[in-house]
Chain A
Amino acid sequence: MDEVLRIERIVLLGLVTLLGATGTLLTALAGLTISAAAALAVCGVNAVVRITAGESPFARWSLLISVGFIISWLLASLAPFVVVVPDGAILFLQLAGVSPIVFYAVAQKVSARDALIGWAQFGVLLLTAGVVREVFGRGTIAGYLAPGGFVIPADFFASPMGAFLVVGAVVLGARVAVRFATNGGGKQ
C-alpha cells in the first residue's frame, strides 16, 4: 500500500495546483516550473534558517511561506509573456508557491530521496492532467489541434468538474491498481 499512499499524498500536497493549473498543457508546465522554482528557493532559505539558533517554528514557516509566495507571484506575473495562460489560471500560478508540495522537501521525516520521487510524481501527474484536460476539453495539445482531429471536445473536462474527475480518477486508479497488484483483485 506504500505506493498508493505516496501517490495519494502527492495529490493532496499539490491539490490546488493540480485542480487549477491543469486546464491546458502549457498552464500545467508553467505551474510545474513555478512550483519547482519556489520549492528550490524554499530549500535554500531553509538551509540558511536551520543554522540560525533560537528560530521559532512560526517565524521559520512564515519566512518559508513568504519566500514561496513571492517567488510564485513574481513568476506568475511573467508567465503570460512566455506562454499562453488563460486568465482564470493566473490565480493558481500565483498561489503555487504556498501549496504544501513546495514545502515537502523541508518537512519533517522526509528524506531527499522521498522529496525527489515525490516531485517527479507530481510533475508527471501535473503534465498528464494538463494533457488529458486539454485534449478532451478543447481538442488541442499545447494549443495545436490533436493529430487527426478525431477528438470531440467536451468542455466539461476544462471546467472545475473535469478537474475533480481527473484528480479523483488518479487517486481511485492508484488504489485499484495496488489492490490488484497485491491480492489479484480479491475482496479486501
Chain B
Amino acid sequence: MPLKSNQMPVIFGAAQSVTERLWRPAADIYQTRDGWIIKYAVAGVKPEDMKIAIKGSAITVSGFRRDWKLEEGCTYYAMEISYNRFERTIELPCLLDGAEVRMEARDGILIVRLKCRGVNP
C-alpha cells in the first residue's frame, strides 16, 4: 500500500501544539565563563513581536513574523521564508530560574545573554 505521495508527514519536534509554533528559527549557542549566549536567526521579526520565557532549565523564544507589502501591485512568484508564529525552546544544562537575561536585536539576529548562578549541572 503506497503512501500518498502528496502528503508526507513531517514531524516537528515535541511541541505540544502546532497552533503555537508554525516555524522554528535556527539558533547558535555559545558557552561563556559565567553563562550562555544564544543567537536566533529571526530576520524580519520586529523586536516588539518577540518574547522570551524561562522555565526550569528551558528558554523559549516565541514570536510572530509578519509579511509586509513592499510595493503596490506586486505578487508573489516564489516564497521560502516562513511567516506567522514561531517558537523555539532550548534546554540548557543548568537551571535558569533567576538568571539575568539581556536581549539585543542586531541585523536580523536576536542575541540573548544569560548569566546564571550555580553554573554547570
Q: Do A and B bind each other?
A: no
What is B's interface to A at a CB cutoff of 8 Å?
A: none
Binding site for B on A (CB under 8 A): none
